[in-house]
Structure 1
């Protein structure tokens, strides 16, 4: 039976301990940060996000924020009530790698009074979605909530105004989530596109909050727990851990459970096998810098191991030879295929001929593309290519997924290159 909303609830999530506070608890009021009382030179209102729908913009923190044991200096603020914590910007930001006080289909552009602002004083980074409305449900009132990232790794969700039950918010057009998530990426040769690569995201951990506890004047506090990555030596790494089975990789000089953002590197260097049956004394005198990735372990072998322990979320095609994205075929899963031995052993002269043919085809495609663009400047295909900024190529393009909304990254232009306006003190 759930506790009354006025009581505190504590849960252990392996990487974090969450404490939820109801409206009647003093701690919920203590955790709310009054941005209006902060130094106005440290508070910035993001002008574009404050007048946009399904947009996101990256911000550089003034300190390293530990997220699942990984120090992050850059995050992405999204209009949909969440932060994206991944390194690679893509359109499906809602899938994983997020910090979401309340992810939903918010549209700050609906009202001139809606703002998305952030505050950074070197100790804490706060983002506040202030008086924003749900797309298509504007009659239910405005929402005001915030997330605070503390330098010590604490994460705080504060809710000031929640005009309706979160469980009543429709997720048909946009996911509705509250919690944390992290994932790792695996890069493989694309079986259907020569000289191309496919990235697959695997979510290895998620914290889902009980949305029925999200009400006005409530709060949630996440306390980070020690991870394997924070253990810096072999002796400390192999000591018992209450939540993880940590192993020491002498080659990388890293402690890990094998499931973090460095997953592919961990497997490529054979760290899982290196630790089997060996003690810290066995590593003494060995030179870790002399090791190299295990070429006998194919990408296919490494990825099959991953799929048994984490769920694949999204895939994309990434070319390595030109500045265009390539979508993988709908039939492939990006994991169970690899280049055949025969294709790798082709004579050199055949590869040269193929290369020349491809070069001629690329030139022809570029010429035809220029002719098409000049005559169809307003077509969807041309607008899409214009959206892919050259300095960001080779770019990732994720296939559309029915359960995840598509986001685009905004970059200010002209004099407002930082995209910020200082908030006035109240």
Structure 2
């Protein structure tokens, strides 16, 4: 574990800030390995790793610590922050993120009003309002190998009396994501989600563009959340931390041979038109479709399905011959074959449904997702959709009393 963190600590030492109370080395570490894109470990308040993963921004280079003036004085605002390094998120490299007052980082390319829906890194997404207190600030720090964003002494807008929250998210250049919590005055499960979602985890999505035939030159964009990491809220307390490690994705393979031979959690396919390896489920989904990359994948699938059809046809012919030998009546033979065919179709539908449910990133799963009826639930951003609206702030910061003025984000 120590070697994995050398990249951050070698560039800028990031010591712990929590009190030096005696650690309980027997504390339990909650491990989660059920995710396809990330594995996570949750460290309890008595585990030494909880202290190690907390970054004491007060001890960092003051020239690199930015206090965002607008975010520190407003409610439901978001501001873009440029990274000094490539940050891999779900296999995609990001150079820009959007920090929101609501305790999360938005990672999408297009900033819209419903930032809480998907494409987020959320140490603690909730209805925080930094404008309620002069002590509330939104701070970030970039040392060249990691970005730390800290929500410091922020209060819930509808529950100010509960006390202030202090927590942070650290994005490492190797893709690791750290959530660290210093002050959590109440149980996360008790925070109201009536006026704002309450989430702890990660999410990513892809956008599908639909052409509207009735209106020329008009296209509709629908965003699909293809994966979400939901962490256990009841594990988040004072002095806890969560470490999320990225797993290999198809996007990391740069040649056809390495892509096809990949033995990871995904069915990787190589698209010659894009010179890209993908499972079909990532942010470049639209390019994958526009360049007919799924057709290359479907060639193998169709051949496989044809073999099954021929096999069933042969079995059907053999069954028909056997039945004809026993009973030459054509009506009786047709009835048996009809019932057999109906049972096979029903079994095939059930098997396909089960397969798509458990393998949503397969070619069949993608096919049905993109062609599902409009009445099926999809994440479409409309007014009154239930997601609180966030506004993007102007790039110029404002000064907060007692703090230096932030630079341009």
> Normalising to structure 2: TM-score of the pair?
0.72
Matching residue of 2:123: 101
State the structure with more CA Rg: 2
Let me know the Cα RMSD of the aligned residues.
2.3
Matching residue of 2:393: 410
Matching residue of 1:401: 385
Distance 2:189 2:293 in 1: 44
1:316-362 per-residue CA deviation (whole Å, 9 max, x = no partner) reads xxxxxxxxxxxxxxxxxxxxxxxxxxxxxxxxxxxxxxxxxxxxxxx
Distance 1:54 1:207 in 2: 23
Q: 2:296 aligns with which of 274, 283, 303?
A: 274
Deviation, 1:58, is 0.5
* Count of aligned residue pairs for this structure pair: 310
CA contact (8 A) 2:79 2:395 kept: no
The DSSP-based 3-state class of the residue aligned with 1:86 is coil
CA contact (8 A) 1:165 1:215 kept: yes
Q: 1:238 aligns with which of 217, 238, 260?
A: 260
Deviation, 1:185, is 0.4
Distance 1:252 1:67 in 2: 20
Question: Gaps spanning 5+ residues in structure 1: where?
Answer: 279-301, 316-397
Distance 2:125 2:104 in 1: 6
Distance 2:390 2:269 in 1: 38
Q: 2:379 aligns with which of 313, 318, 322?
A: 313
Alignment of 1:1-400 (within 5 A): 6-12=27-33, 13-190=35-212, 193-276=215-298, 305-306=369-370, 312-315=378-381, 398-400=382-384
Change (3 A) 1:121 1:414: closer
1:80-114 per-residue CA deviation (whole Å, 9 max, x = no partner) reads 00000000000000000000000000000000000
CA contact (8 A) 1:202 1:311 kept: no
Distance 1:64 1:122 in 2: 10
Structure 1's consecutive aligned runs of 4 or more residues displaced over 4 angstroms after TM superposition are 191-194, 302-305, 412-416
> Normalising to structure 1: TM-score of the pair?
0.69
The DSSP-based 3-state class of the residue aligned with 1:136 is coil
1:104-142 per-residue CA deviation (whole Å, 9 max, x = no partner) reads 000000000000000001110010000000012111100
The DSSP-based 3-state class of the residue aligned with 1:312 is coil
CA contact (8 A) 1:144 1:160 kept: yes
CA contact (8 A) 1:186 1:303 kept: no
1:23-54 per-residue CA deviation (whole Å, 9 max, x = no partner) reads 01001110000000000000000000000000
Deviation, 1:400, is 2.9
Question: Gaps spanning 5+ residues in structure 2: where?
Answer: 1-25, 301-365
